[in-house]
Amino acid sequence: MRHRNRSAKLGRTTSHRRCLFANMLKSLILNGKIVTTVPKAKELRRFADKMVTLAKTDSLASRRQVMAALMVRYNTLTPKERRAAKGGDHSAYNSDRKVVDHLFSTLGPRFKERDGGYTRITRFATARVGDNATTCCLEYLP
């Protein structure tokens, strides 16, 4: 019985599913919208809303929870790159740092007054060519 087990397995192992959602969340945060299948979008919406809720309170604890959920990896900087980063040049950072920064500097303040429901799923009329899967667009509200 699957009592109190809410997550959809999507035909993947747990580690594969966690990595899939972490990568999709990073793309959603950076781009604002992604195109995917309907079951993936419905499951990803739960995590996307939690990330925005955490970003509304900009604290060290919430940043660490977001980094854990997104599986953020920080590349170590050389001393030269570290000095440049302190001066404002963030070109040495990988995209994971940019995702966390965008979440806390843009999306968190944007939804400060809203109490949930930060995403929208818009289904497409036609199915995907190849496997006939129903696709949709998952995006953050304006």
The pLDDT assigned to 17 comes to 94
The predicted structure's pLDDT at residue 54: 96
Domains of the chain: 14-140 (3.90.1030.10)
pLDDT for position 16: 95
Contacting residues for 30 by C-beta, under 8 A, at least 6 apart: 95, 98, 99, 102
Tell me which residues of the chain have a pLDDT lower than 50: none
Phi, psi of 94 (to 5 degrees): -80, 175
- Cα–Cα distance, 118 to 111 (Å, whole number): 7
Q: What is the Cα–Cα distance from 55 to 49, expressed in whole angstroms?
A: 10
pLDDT score recorded for residue 83? 87
Name the one residue in this structure whose structure tokens are 């070109």. 91
Minimal CA–CA distance to 42: which of 111, 132, 135, 142? Answer: 135
CB atoms within 10 A of CB 67: 16
Contact 98, 30 (CB under 8 A): yes
**pLDDT tens-digit series, residues 19-39:** 999 999 999 999 999 999 999
Q: Report in angstroms the alpha-carbon separations of 136 from 31, 47, 89, 114, 132.
A: 15, 17, 37, 24, 13
In residues, how long is the chain? 142
Per-residue pLDDT at 74: 74
